[in-house]
């Protein structure tokens, strides 16, 4: 049974260097932005959904999500977005117990992602991490919001920057998802990925 206290956070705070900069999540796939595809996948699985985004939020096309900028300076990557999500969720009324984090460039996420991650959590697990094809997708994770203070300390004091380095401290449950046809965690990073998506899925890429 799913708790009501899971908030979703779509991580879109990166610089998209491999796409030449700009907001790759606003590029259109099959008539809708990549971000819209992600929202449609994640929104039914959480009680509240927000977007981790840095810079001017007016560049979005009325997606209607709360915008959460990083709470640490310096564009420190997805781990800073996870921290911002935890701190946002902790300050909600009522506060959330968990956040589900996903990247903004993964439009084919499983419909049972949140459920499977949640049900895998044991009492010793502070996080549940998705995996497929024997690869761990550390950003696609369910986190206990109570981790926020220790994560802030790790980033601000210990210099932790990579999600995989932080994950090792969380005693995570690893949840493997089946790959049938395409990997549900396929992410669009490069122009070649757009071509691959078009070939595999028959989408029109604009």
The pLDDT value recorded for residue 74 is 85
Residue 19 has pLDDT above 50, yes or no: no
The pLDDT value recorded for residue 18 is 45
Q: How does DSSP assign 13-79, residue by residue?
A: -S--GGGTSS-GGGSEETTEEHHHHHHHHHGGGSSEEEEE--S-GGGS-S--PPEE--SSSS---HH
Domain definitions of the chain by residue range = 6-201
Query: Once rounded to an integer, what is the mean pLDDT over residues 15-42?
Result: 74
Give 172: exposed, middle or buried? Use CB within 10 Å, 0-12, 13-18, 19+.
Answer: buried
CATH architecture group of domain 6-201: Alpha-Beta Complex (3.90)
The pLDDT value recorded for residue 186 is 87
The pLDDT value recorded for residue 66 is 92
The pLDDT value recorded for residue 197 is 60
> How far is it, in rounded angstroms, from Cα 167 to Cα 133?
19
Residue 1 has pLDDT above 60, yes or no: no
> Over the stretch 60-90, which tens digit does the pLDDT of each residue have?
766 789 999 999 988 889 999 999 999 999 9
Token representation of residue 111: 């419909």
The pLDDT value recorded for residue 2 is 58
Q: Tell me the pLDDT of the chain averaged across its residues.
A: 86
> Over the stretch 80-134, which tens digit does the pLDDT of each residue have?
999 999 999 999 999 999 999 999 999 889 999 999 999 999 888 999 999 999 8
> How far is it, in rounded angstroms, from Cα 53 to Cα 103?
11
Of 10-14, 22-26, 151-155, the range with the lowest mean pLDDT is: 22-26
The per-residue b/e assignment along 105-134, b for 16 or more CB within 10 angstroms, e otherwise, is bbbbbbeebbeebbebbeeebbbbbbebee
The pLDDT value recorded for residue 190 is 73
pTM: 0.89
**Most confident residue range from 11-15, 17-21, 25-29, 94-98:** 94-98
């Amino acid at each position: 049974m799913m708790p009501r206290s899971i908030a979703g956070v779509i991580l879109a705070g990166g610089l998209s260097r491999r796409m030449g900069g700009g907001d790759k999540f606003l590029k259109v796939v099959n008539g809708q932005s990549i971000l819209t595809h992600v929202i449609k996948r994640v929104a039914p699985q959480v009680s509240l959904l927000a977007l981790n985004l840095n810079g001017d939020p007016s560049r979005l096309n009325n997606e209607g999500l709360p915008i959460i900028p990083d709470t640490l300076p310096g564009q420190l990557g997805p781990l800073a977005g996870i921290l911002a999500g935890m701190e946002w969720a902790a300050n909600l009324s009522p506060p959330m117990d968990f956040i589900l984090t996903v990247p903004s460039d993964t439009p084919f996420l499983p419909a049972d992602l949140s459920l499977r991650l949640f049900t895998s959590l044991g009492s010793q697990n502070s996080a549940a991490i998705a995996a497929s094809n024997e690869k761990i997708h550390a950003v696609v994770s369910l986190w206990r919001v109570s981790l926020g203070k220790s994560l802030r300390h790790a980033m601000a004091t210990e210099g932790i920057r990579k999600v995989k380095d932080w994950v090792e401290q969380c005693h995570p449950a690893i949840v493997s998802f089946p790959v049938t046809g395409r990997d549900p965690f396929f992410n669009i990073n490069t122009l070649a990925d757009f071509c691959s998506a078009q070939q595999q899925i028959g989408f029109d890429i604009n």
